[in-house]
Each structure stands twice: as structure tokens, then as C-alpha cells.
A and B are shown apart, each in its own frame.
Chain A
Amino acid sequence: MFAGSAEPVTLDPFFASDGESFRVARQIFEGLVGTMPGTADPAPLLAKEWEVGEDGLTYTFSLEEGVKFHDGTDFNAEAVCFNFDRWYNMPESAQTDDLTYYYAALFRGFATGDRAEEAIYESCSADDELTATITLQSPFAGFISSMSLPALSMQSPTALEEYQDDAATNPRNTEYSTERPVGTGPFTLESWERGEQVTLTANDDYWGEPASIDEAVVVAIAEPKARADALRNGEIDGYDLVGPADIGPLEGDGFQIVNREAFNVLYLGMNQKQAPLDDPKVRQAIAHAINRDEVVSASLPEGTQTATQFIPEVVNGFADDVPTYDYDPEAAEQLLEEAGATGATIEFNYPTDVSRPYMPAPEDTFNVIRTQLEAVGLKIKPTADKWDPDYLEKIQGTPGHGIHLLGWTGDYNDTDNFLGVFFGAKSNEWGFDNQEIFDGLKEARGIPTPEEQETLYQELNRQIMDYLPGVPLAHPVPSLAFSPDVEGYQQSPVQDEVWNVITLN
């Protein structure tokens, strides 16, 4: 009995982009590639092993034997190609970002539509029963890693053909997507009562380690405190996204807190379109004025690490020697003086009415930082907006903001998933035009393998921290809470958490 923070949107993971849909999808579906338990590194799953061609354009997967979909269809190379071709051939009506964000972001385009030119998928061939080769048009170093995304899991061709309609006005709402999703995972969908709960039953024919629990139910409780209350009251066995204020008390009362390894970053963005933020000295001064440790202790969960750059340690390209800006209020004041910006007024935007895994209590974080900035003489003009819809609109859609709090949780282990998203091109959020960084990131994206990318990304990280478009603050530790009866929960930084390993006493 698990509580998430919201209802899943759809059970066909290809059309989903929200964590709750993925949570359920992870139990029902599997991809070619999984992750090593507790990490973001790729590990074999439906594909036992893979080989990358010399040119980085062909990937040959050897598939696991004897795997069947829940409806009895065999899982084989043909099924793999069916899935890949289905994605590539999505009708134009399904090519919008709300439906196919992940596929489009990774593979850049489809067979039809305005992005067909940039699509990197070329073809899939079923060499024999258990070997499939994917050919790409241009190299994509993150390909293997991305195959662990739930959106790209393998779905049953038979079920898709019979019940799914990709061209429907609302593919998220078809019979397949709400009642009959069919994968290869350790659980099958028993029922989804909209607005109430999702019930999963253990798959007895699962090819891997079968689940020890017979049934899993997922409900949605929006408020973190309400989730904590329900756990205390015995109404649920576990939940996700524990509020920082609840961690201590829950632990004290004998509940288990499982910390996910941080795969995210919380940062203070700075909009260079708003003076005096375009002056590097001012940006550096702000960085020096912030006491990251205090920010963590006052507003973030225990165990959160402070950040030195815009990617967490486990991501490729993490550089140990980036320029850092330690807490030094005197240096901050000095820099402000040099820049002629002592006592300058800076607008500080922050969101209300929201709790993100990387930013559980934005108002608290805002207040701590504000006090620190005011201590070096800056005047802060606070601007609060509701997360939905105003804040994001203001921060990402217009140049009308100053410094702001935002962050990002990585989906899979690819540096481009962080840096590329933030600094890949000119944007309203950061307001700068640094062609060197844009070009550097573009180049890195095109390098065929992660190993080869490493050096370039490290260099880029150093460059970015030198330029200092924003101040990375921390990598908050999202946590889950469980009753003492639950054992064996395996956390994953990318939320690849399958429940067949849990036992309930």
C-alpha cells in the first residue's frame, strides 16, 4: 500500500512524463536496459548484452531467453523492432511535447512531422529470434543509458495492436492506456480506479525474481504531511517524497527512511538580462555571499550534499577541479564594491504552493538565502508566484525576473540531460548568449560514447562554473518512508524501483 503524491496520468509509459505514471509503469514494464541497483549506471535487463558498432551508429542487442509478455506473446527481436518502429512512426497528432516528450527529446524527431529531418533513428532489424540491431543516423552517446527510461520500455505488440490507438485524440486515455497495458514486468495491472487507486497483482510467470508480495496498491495523497499521517496511522505501508520536517519525527517513531542517492540539482539561477546580474563580479559576489551549508541545514533534508557544479557527482563529466565560490561575505562585499553594485536591488523570484523533489520547501530556502544576501548589503525584492502556472511562465517564458530558485531531476545518466537542458541554447531563463558554451555542448552531444565525452564535459563544467550563470546550491536527497514491516526496498537515483524485491512481514 503505497502513496504517491498524485494520480498517474496514463499507464502507457510512452505517452507519460510524470513520475507517478512511471512509478506504476516500472512495475509492469521493462526496457532493454536497466540500472545497477542503487545507481544510475546501465545494467542488462531484457537485453543480456550489447555491442556498439565502430562508428557508434549500430547497436546490437542480445536478448534474454524465454521471456513472455503478460498476455503470452513472446518477447523477441521482432517485438523489439515493433516497439522501435511504433515510436518512430507516431502520427503527427501524437508528436506534441505533452505526449511524447522523452522520445522526441532523445531521438529528436519522427518519420513524419516538422522534425523528420533531425530524427536520428534509422531502422531496426531482427537478425534472429534473440538478436536485434538498431541503426542510427547520427551518434547518440546516451543511447544505451536512455534505454532504461520507462518511456522506452518494451510493450506487447499483440496488445498494442488490439487495444492501442496512437492516432486517437487522446492516446493517454485509450483502453490500452487505462486498462490493458501489457509488459514483461513482475506485476500486472489488476485495475485502475480513476481518482482512487491502482491495483497491481504479482506476475507468477515472471522471468526474473518473482515478487514476494501478492498485491500492491498505489493511492494518491497530495500533501506530504497527510502522507506522513497516513503512514503513522497504518493506512499505508510506505510513501514517496517525505517532507524535510517529517524525516526526523518519523525516524524517531520507528519508521524507516530510505534516502535516494541524489540525482538532481537545486540552483539559484541568475537572469543576465536584469542588471546588475550581467556583471560577472556581481554574480561571483552572490555566490560568495551564500552559505550553502546553512541553506541545507535550514531548508533541505538531512544528508543533502552541497553542490559545486550543475551536475551531481555520479554523472559523466563531473570535474573535481571546477572553480568554487566558498562562503566569504567579505569577498562578496568587496566584489560588489568593485562592480559599483553595493546596495543594489535584486529581484528574487521563488515559487509558492509546490514541493519538488529537488526543492521540497522553496519558501524556506528562499528565506535563508535572502537573509544571507541582505547581510552583504544587497537589497532583495521578493517576488512570489504560484508554481502553477505563473512561476514557470515567468522564469522560463519571459525575461522579466531576477534571481530565482529552480532545479532539475535527471531522468537517465547522460550529462546532456542536465547541462544540455540548462545551457544548450539561448533562453529566457538565463538570459545570456555565450556561443562558446552552446557550441561546446552541441559538440559533446555528438560524440559517440560516454567515455569519449568525459573530457569535453569536464572542460565544459569548468567553463560554466567560471562563467557562473547561476549558483548550484545542493543535491537534495529525496526520501521515502516505510513502516517497519517493509523490508528490502531498493532505492534508485533515477527511480528505477521495482517492487518484486520487497517483503512485507
Chain B
Amino acid sequence: MLRFVLRRLALMVPVLIGLSILLFAWVRALPGDPSRALLGERATPEGIERVNAAYGFDKPLIEQYLTYVGALLRGDFGESIQTGRPVLESFTERFPATLELGATALLFAVVLGVPLGYVAARSQGRLLDTSVVSGSLLGVVTPVFFLAILLKLVFADKLHWLPTALRQDPRMDATHITNFYVLDGILTREWDASWDALTHLVLPALALGTIPLAIIVRITRASVSEVLHEDYVRTAEAKGLARGTVSRRHVLRNALLPVVTTIGLQAGLLFSGAVLTETVFAFNGIGQYLFEAIGSRDYPVLQGFIIFIAIVYSLINLLVDVSYGLIDPRVRAA
């Protein structure tokens, strides 16, 4: 197992290097000028020239790339052109938001989805099964942002049950340590801050989690149902083992494998959905920020953020594969 992990980590390095070169080229191939985006309507040709000179954009590409790599090796990911803030700082500030959102959404999807899928598989063909299947199908095909808009409209705008935007009520004056607001509230014992952050998470997490929920329900159902029809299960039932025992010990453990894989695969989906959901709810995560950076051609932010995202994403995939290996010994041998 350890060798497996090490090998994968080692493989990540060339991939990331390749990615960084690609990113550098891509970012500069983008049509448009960060200096113009920076100056906006107040841009004049001389002004743009001055800014370009200050940032070194007028130097040859190779030189720019070397400067960039040199800085990277020192751990300096540069500063945003738009705000002047260090990219690493912005990332560590905003990433917990997206992570918190994604984790909550995933939790929601798993906690609700697995039991639902299991129950549906058990009651095959009956009303419960059909309604679960139809519901999950709808969940899969509804665009995330559409759902987000609908949820916001109903629960926040019309019913006023939940807040419409942001991560926390600004009047709350909460202390932030990890930037995971719910956690922070717990750590500092500011329970109301924690609760407030939670209420702000509900709608976005619901919107974001619906598609993973639907998928998990379906995979669980399919997987459980497949296992239920396996010979050894039927044998166990024929032998007279109580249904409960059969289900818990045999069915679940074997059915869990595809479910776990799926959960891991959701990471990419969650990120995409997060970008869209964050926009609707003014939730300060990396999704919206990254997207704005693309528009303003903020090179350092783009390069930095995408590399960070790639690292996180690869680590998550690694985690999934590892857990896969832990659960199914057959895979480990491969």
C-alpha cells in the first residue's frame, strides 16, 4: 500500500510540472490584456504601457517563465494583478469556503443517499422504488444553478426561512481561525456564530448536493440490488438467516465498493457545481474568484489557483484509489 501511494505521489510531480507549463502558455495565449482589465475605462495607451513595464509583460516569454519558476521554487506564487494580494493568501482564505460547502453537500448526499438507495433496492419494483428512481433522475438532469436559483427564490426570498447570501451575518463579528466558519465557531465556543454559518450553508449545500445525492442513490440502489441477487445472498436467505443479518453483514460491505468509488468521483462534479452555486449565493469561495480572474486576465491568480486545485484534486483522487484498495483486496493485487 505504501509503495502504491508513494508511486502515485511521484507520478503527480511530472503531471503538475506539465500542467504548470501548459498553464503558463495558456494564460498568455488568452486574448486580452491584464493591464487593460486593470485600468478599465481609465486606460490610455501610455498608461497600459507603463503598467506592462511595471509587471514585466513586455519582456520575452522565456524570461517571464523563468522568473515565474524561480519565484515558484521559493514558494512565491506571485500577487494578484487586480488586488495586489499574494495569491497563496487569497487561496487559503477562500478555499475553506468551497471545501466547507463541498464537504457539507457531499455529507448531505451520502447520509441521505445511501440509505435511500438501499431501501429502494430492497423494495424493488414497488412504489417506493419507482419514486426514488424518478426523483433521482430528475436530480441528475437539473442544472445546478437553476436549482440554486429556485431554492433561493423559494426558501430565502419568499419564505424568509434562510439567508440569501454570504457565509455569515456580517454583524456577527465572529472570530475566524481556520476559515472553516462552522468549525471556528465550535473551536471558539461562539455557538451562535457556528449556527449562523450553518444556516448560511444550508441552501447552497442543498443545491450543490442534489446531483451527487441523485447519483449516490442510483449507484447504491444498483449495487445493492446486484448483490442481493448474487447467489451467495440467496443461499444465505434460503438457509434461513434473518434478513437483517444478511443485509448488514454481506450485502452492505460488498455493495459499498462502487459507492465509494462514486463518492470519490464526485469531487470534480462538486467543484464545478460549487463555482455556479457560489455565484448565486455570493458565497466567498474560490469558484467565483477564479472565474473573475479569468475575465480580468489576472495571470498570477489563474496560474496559482489552478495548480492548487489540481493538487487538491489529485490528492482526492489518490485518496479514493487508496480507500478502494483498502476495501477490495483484489484491486491491491493489480
Contacts and interface: CB of A to CB of B under 8 A. Distances in A.
The answer to whether A and B assemble together is yes
Interface of A: 1, 7, 9-10, 17, 93, 95-98, 101, 105, 169-173, 193-197, 199, 217, 219-223, 226, 229-230, 232-235, 353, 386-390, 392-393, 396-397, 406, 408
B84 A392 contact: no
A353 B295 contact: yes
B273 interface: no
B152 to A, nearest CB: 7
A389 B282 contact: no
Contact of B51 (A98, A193, A226, A232): A98
B34 A389 contact: yes
A199 B172 CA distance: 11
Contacts, number: 133
Contacts of A223: 279, 282
Contacts of A194: 85, 90, 93
A235 B166 contact: yes
B126 interface: no
Contacts of A93: 54
Contact of B171 (A101, A169, A217): A217
A97 B93 contact: no
Contacts of B94: 195
Contacts of B281: 226
A62 to B, nearest CB: 33
B163 interface: yes
Nearest to A197: B170
A235 B54 contact: no
Contacts of B35: 98
A96 B50 contact: yes
A97 B50 contact: yes
B221 interface: no
A170 B83 CA distance: 9
The size bracket of the interface on B is 35 or more
Main secondary structure of the interface of A (DSSP, over half): mixed
Contacts of B44: 97
Interface in B5-34: 31-34
Residue in A10, A217, A235, A397 whose Cβ sees the most chain B Cβ within 10 Å: A235
A229 B152 contact: yes
A353 B279 CA distance: 13
Given A96-B51, A226-B164, A388-B295, A396 B43 contact: yes
B36 A392 contact: yes
Contacts of A105: 42
Contact of A389 (B45, B84, B85, B297): B297
B231 interface: no
B37 interface: yes
A97 B44 CA distance: 9
Residue from the set B41, B79, B93, B295 with the largest chain A CB neighbour count within 10 Å: B41
Contact of A97 (B42, B163, B165): B42
Contact of B169 (A10, A95, A235): A235
Given A169-B79, A173-B85, A392-B43, A98 B165 contact: no
Interface in B149-205: 152, 156-157, 160, 163-171, 173, 176
Contacts of A229: 152, 156-157, 164-165
Contact of B37 (A101, A226, A388, A406): A388
B64 interface: no
Contacts of B84: 9-10, 170-173
B170 A219 contact: yes
A392 to B, nearest CB: 6
B171 A1 contact: yes
Interface in B290-316: 292, 295-297
Interface string B75-88: 00001001111100
Residue of A105, A388, A389 with most chain B CB atoms under a 10 A cut-off: A389
Contacts of B163: 230, 233, 235
Query: Which of B37, B90, B282, B284 is the most central at the interface, judged by chain A CB atoms within 10 Å of its CB?
Result: B282
Given A173-B79, A226-B282, A235-B164, A390 B32 contact: yes
